[in-house]
Amino acid sequence: MPSTVTESLIFRDMFGTAAMRGVFSDEALVGRYLEVEVALARAEAATQVIPTEAADAIAEAARTMPIDFDRLRHETEITGYPIIAIVHQLAEAAGDAGGYVHWGATTQDIMDSATVLQVRAALDLVRADLIELRGILAALALKHRDTPMAGRTHLQQALPITFGYKVAVWLSMIERHIERLEQLRPRVLIGQFAGAAGTLASLGADGLKVQAALCDLLGLGRPTATWHVARDGFAEVVAFLGLVTGSLGKIATDVMLLMATEFAEVAEPFVKGRGASSTMPQKRNPISSELMLAAAKAVRQHVALMLDGMVQDLERATGPWHAEWIAIPESFILTGGALAQARFVLGGLIVDAQRMRDNLAISGGLIVAEAVMMAAAPRLGRQRAHDVVYDACRSAVTDRRPLADVLTEMPEIVDALGGTDAIRHHCDPANYLGLAPQMVDHMLSQLGRKPSVAKPSLGKPDAR
């Protein structure tokens, strides 16, 4: 029985997706090992290192052979690596051509190249999710471009903003992640083939020709130098996942706080029973947001593990490499799960614009004290305007009165603003949104398209 949340029959679709698990399944991993071994044989045949007939036989054997996973597990436990065990089975299946399997390669060549192929497929899934999420957020920002709400700093009401502005900030992070993903591909999607100590000594003068042919067959970049112990590529990709889940964690935190009873400004999509308590029937907990935040915390630890794993000894590591086997699959699976939860939450997010407006009013106008101060400053000077409005705020708090009522009783402010109507205008939070709506427009214009409104999915997050 599975024992981790990413594989658990109970939890796996909360913390991951079927598609991402498929990329990193044992069956897929062995398939990648065989894909690299076949590509190696084809590359060596093309460069006349081994007979073409041998490469054909190896390819056919890899296509048709059944994998004995019990034998593979047993031999892997003995040797510490799965490649020797795979080579045994492939060589046996290839018959007379079996002697040419794994010609001139070392275990890490095959495993690293296979991992790169997995990473490429996994990044394609991440990119698709990010693009879908970008569309969802763009539509949400456009819809709520002018929806006023309280902006909060240090958990206190600060100044009015719009909900569309808040979403545009979220969107900006996702857009940068899409850009980062494209930029890291050529640095990360590099083939590995260098032989025992990285010098390709086993193939002599043919080594670099075979390496180039192998990378071309796999559709991977050619390395500028052996990267057996230069692990910055894999560290970068996991760090990228840390950035993605970190942004999702920030979004989740905002949603959770805004779902609090005292705020009640947004809610996750309603699905009967979702987020329910076993004892409190009224509860509607932010389950998807909680899962996004948990994933962010877990992936963050794997980022640290990958950075630590960059410190490798000499020409072949004695342990840090193995840590990658843990960190890379789990990081991708958790990221895929977090992205699925984000698509679900934001695609069907319930926004209570009236509650946002009501919450803007709970301070009795104090949230726009700056607006009054700045409006009075041209007549009074900034410091004098600050001092007068500060005193008015203290009176409003002490007497529990609206700030506008206190200000209308202060002739100095009435005169500076030009009348009581002007005071009440400046004390309306909806009139002090700054350039929040225009910032939404600017963010959307950077996408180079008009966002279409994404249809919300009101079921559970998919198991994609």
Q: How far is CA 320 from the centre of its chain?
A: 24
Element (H, E) at 149: strand 148-153
Long-range contacts of 164-170 (CB under 8 A, 24+ apart): 164/140, 164/436, 164/437, 164/440, 165/141, 165/436, 165/437, 165/439, 165/440, 166/254, 167/137, 167/140, 167/141, 167/440, 168/141, 168/439, 168/440, 168/443, 168/444, 170/137, 170/247, 170/250, 170/251, 170/254
Tokens 């996991």 belong to 238
Residues 235, 310 contacting (CB under 8 angstroms) = yes
Q: What Cα–Cα distance (Å) separates residue 143 from each residue in 58, 154, 163, 196, 250?
A: 58, 27, 9, 59, 21
For the question of residue 288 being annotated catalytic, the response is no
d(CA 231, CA 217) in angstroms, rounded, equals 23
Furthest C-alpha separation in the chain: 102
Instruction: Tell me the residue type at 397.
Output: V
- Segments in 94-162 forming alpha helices (H): 107-143
> One of 102, 177, 228, 277 is an active-site residue; which one?
277
For the question of residue 172 being annotated catalytic, the response is no
The first and second tokens of residue 34, run together, are 């065989």
> One of 8, 74, 144, 154 is an active-site residue; which one?
154
d(CA 245, CA 75) in angstroms, rounded, equals 37
Catalytic residue numbers read: 154, 277
